[in-house]
């Protein structure tokens, strides 16, 4: 019925490829995506969208809307890059600029694929074929901080009926697995400096407090659920061995499959940090960087998206792209797909082996791992707790390509990524139009949402009054996914 709008995307493919490649070249890290956001905003304004810029205290966050009727469909866009991953669109390691950022998670594709979808849906609304409002949510810093959580707190999702999103990957598949809830927090200890040999009695080591905290947390591991994860790095341990450090800092991730489990573990970690101050006569400063929920996908929205995923099919890769993929695969560790095999039911093992042996995924595969959780975290999760949401993956990478890798930067800047992006745009378009054309599906999705959340509702994971952490964005190592 709406095939003309997938054709519209194809007719405008060069425009969207140019936008994606421009953002790929910009490669701006979280909360610094000024040129990328400006390009997206300019494109949307020129197409007739009304844009609210700098929302939720973030200059690179925005919401673009077209239409004034119900239902309101949100399509999420991201456009931040990762530090140190600069790479040319070639199958061997060749940075565009040594040490510069690169799109190792394909967010140039993600943001532009979502852009193409909202513009196609806008055409259908303008032509009078559906009624509704389509919105593009410009979400910065997915890799670093929970920008979507700030947008939720500021009320920007209060009138959204359905949320849709996607992500580049090496499979074509509806996302069925959750993602871990997480807190990302810095513990900074303040002590008293002194000469470590000549005047040790007057020193109070902040580094001692960090090490004692780490010891306490490591002993705590015996007494937490096996699916929880706690990791840390010492970001400041002092300057010289013969000077007692008066400042030291450790950065923690506290993760677990459920948000309430993170909250409980985090309270225990804080107690251990406070205990370290008692043992060392130091003081503690807590800098809460970010927190996210676990993802809760809506089955009704998933059914709609999965039907469109199968209707559109996999990206149509050609011989030259397959050859590029084979060359790039020579640089990819051979064991990166083994984790997926553990998720495959026995009846699908032969299919899985065939798929995972391909240089590029050329079919739609059944959802894997329902009821399980991915090892990472994403701020898409917070949106899933306030609106019915579904997410899918489209092959824009070679099979088994590691997350956050230069290999992904390479395919994100050439035709493999372009074809995946345009395929995703078509799926998002048809999914949004389905909900606008059949309002009863929106009602059904909300009934499912209320059932799923009847025992636990969303409470912001942020401490009251928390602002986006601009004081940390100059330090490029702060990555929170």
Rounded Cα distance, 416 and 404, in Å:
17
Are residues 140 and 185 both part of a single domain?
no
pLDDT at 475: 58
What angle, rounded to 10 degrees, do the helices at 415-437 and 13-26 form? 120
Instruction: Band the pLDDT of 480: cuts 50, 70, 90.
Output: very low
Residue 462 within any structural domain of the chain: no
Output the six-digit token pair for 404: 């956050």
Residue 461 within any structural domain of the chain: no
Are residues 166 and 302 both part of a single domain?
yes
List of residues 6+ apart from 243 with CB closer than 8 A: 193, 194, 195, 196
Average pLDDT over residues 432-440: 98
Q: Greater confidence, 335 or 329?
A: 329
Are residues 243 and 298 both part of a single domain?
no
Average pLDDT over residues 115-142: 97
Rounded Cα distance, 126 and 185, in Å:
46
Are residues 349 and 438 both part of a single domain?
yes
Residue 477 within any structural domain of the chain: no
Say if residue 329 is preceded by a cis peptide, omega within 30 of 0: no
Question: Which of 292, 313, 333 is the C-terminal boundary of a domain?
Answer: 292
- Domain containing residue 302: CATH number: 3.40.630.10
Question: Which of 274, 292, 310 is the C-terminal boundary of a domain?
Answer: 292
Are residues 37 and 165 both part of a single domain?
yes
3-state secondary structure of 453: coil
Is the per-residue pLDDT at 476 higher than 70?
no
Average pLDDT over residues 270-283: 98
Q: What is the pLDDT of residues 52-91, one digit of tens each?
A: 999 999 999 999 999 999 999 999 999 999 999 999 999 9
pLDDT at 339: 67
Output the six-digit token pair for 78: 């991201």
- Domain containing residue 228: CATH number: 3.30.70.360
Q: Greater confidence, 344 or 251?
A: 251
Separation of first and last alpha carbons in the chain:
39
Residue 117: phi and psi, rounded to 5, are: -65, -45
List of residues 6+ apart from 433 with CB closer than 8 A: 2, 5, 121, 124, 129, 130
Output the six-digit token pair for 96: 């565009």
Residue 287 within any structural domain of the chain: yes
Report the domain count for the chain: 2
Residue 313 within any structural domain of the chain: yes
Are residues 235 and 311 both part of a single domain?
no
Residue closest to 382 by CA, chosen among 217, 153, 207: 153
Average pLDDT over residues 280-301: 97
Tell me what percent of the residues of the chain surpass a pLDDT of 90.
89
Are residues 146 and 192 both part of a single domain?
no
Are residues 80 and 195 both part of a single domain?
no
Residue 180: phi and psi, rounded to 5, are: -70, 140
Question: Which of 258, 292, 326 is the C-terminal boundary of a domain?
Answer: 292
Average pLDDT, the chain: 94
Are residues 237 and 204 both part of a single domain?
yes
Are residues 322 and 374 both part of a single domain?
yes
Are residues 321 and 384 both part of a single domain?
yes
Is the per-residue pLDDT at 37 higher than 50?
yes
Are residues 333 and 228 both part of a single domain?
no
Domain that holds residue 195: 181-292
Is the per-residue pLDDT at 35 higher than 70?
yes
pLDDT at 333: 83
Average pLDDT over residues 201-212: 98
């Amino acid at each position: 019925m709406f095939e003309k709008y997938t054709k519209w995307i194809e007719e405008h493919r060069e425009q969207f490829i140019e936008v994606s490649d421009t953002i790929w070249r910009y490669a701006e890290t979280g909360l610094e995506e000024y040129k990328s956001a400006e390009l997206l905003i300019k494109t949307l304004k020129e197409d007739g969208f009304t844009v609210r810029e700098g929302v939720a205290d973030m200059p690179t966050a925005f919401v673009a809307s077209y239409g004034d009727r119900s239902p309101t469909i949100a399509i999420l866009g991201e456009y931040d890059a990762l530090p140190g991953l600069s790479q040319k669109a070639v199958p061997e390691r060749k940075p565009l600029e040594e040490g510069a950022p690169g799109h190792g998670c394909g967010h140039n594709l993600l943001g532009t694929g979502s852009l193409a979808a909202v513009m196609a849906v806008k055409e259908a609304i303008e032509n009078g074929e559906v009624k509704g409002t389509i919105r593009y949510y410009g979400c910065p810093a997915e890799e670093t901080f929970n920008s979507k959580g700030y947008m939720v707190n500021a009320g920007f999702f209060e009138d959204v009926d359905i949320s849709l999103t996607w992500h580049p990957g090496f499979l074509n598949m509806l996302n069925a697995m959750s993602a871990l809830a997480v807190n990302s927090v810095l513990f900074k200890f303040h002590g008293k400096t002194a000469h470590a040999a000549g005047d040790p009695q007057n020193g109070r080591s902040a580094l001692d407090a960090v090490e004692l905290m780490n010891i306490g947390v490591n002993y705590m591991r015996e007494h937490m659920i096996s699916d929880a994860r706690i990791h840390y790095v010492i970001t400041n341990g002092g300057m010289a061995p013969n000077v007692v450090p008066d400042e030291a800092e450790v950065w923690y991730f506290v993760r677990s499959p459920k948000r309430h489990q993170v909250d409980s573990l985090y309270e225990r970690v804080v107690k251990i940090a406070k205990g370290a101050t008692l043992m060392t006569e130091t003081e503690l400063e807590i800098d809460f960087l970010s927190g996210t929920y676990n993802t809760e996908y809506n089955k009704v929205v998933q059914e709609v998206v999965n039907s469109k995923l199968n209707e559109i099919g996999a990206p149509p890769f050609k011989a030259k792209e397959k050859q590029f993929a084979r060359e790039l695969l020579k640089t990819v560790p051979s064991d990166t797909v083994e984790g997926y095999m553990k998720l495959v039911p026995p009846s699908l093992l032969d299919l899985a082996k065939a798929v995972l042996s391909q240089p590029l995924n050329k079919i739609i595969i059944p959802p894997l791992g329902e009821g399980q959780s991915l090892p990472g975290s994403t701020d898409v999760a917070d949106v899933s707790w306030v609106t019915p949401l579904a997410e899918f993956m489209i092959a824009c990478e070679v099979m088994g390509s590691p997350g956050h890798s230069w290999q992904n930067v390479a395919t994100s800047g050439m035709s493999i990524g372009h074809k995946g992006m345009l395929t995703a745009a078509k799926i998002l378009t048809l999914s949004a139009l389905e909900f606008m054309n059949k309002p009863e599906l929106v009602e059904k999705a909300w009934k499912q949402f209320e059932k799923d959340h009847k025992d636990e509702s969303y409470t912001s994971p942020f401490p009251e009054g928390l602002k986006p952490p601009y004081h940390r964005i100059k330090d490029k190592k702060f990555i929170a996914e």
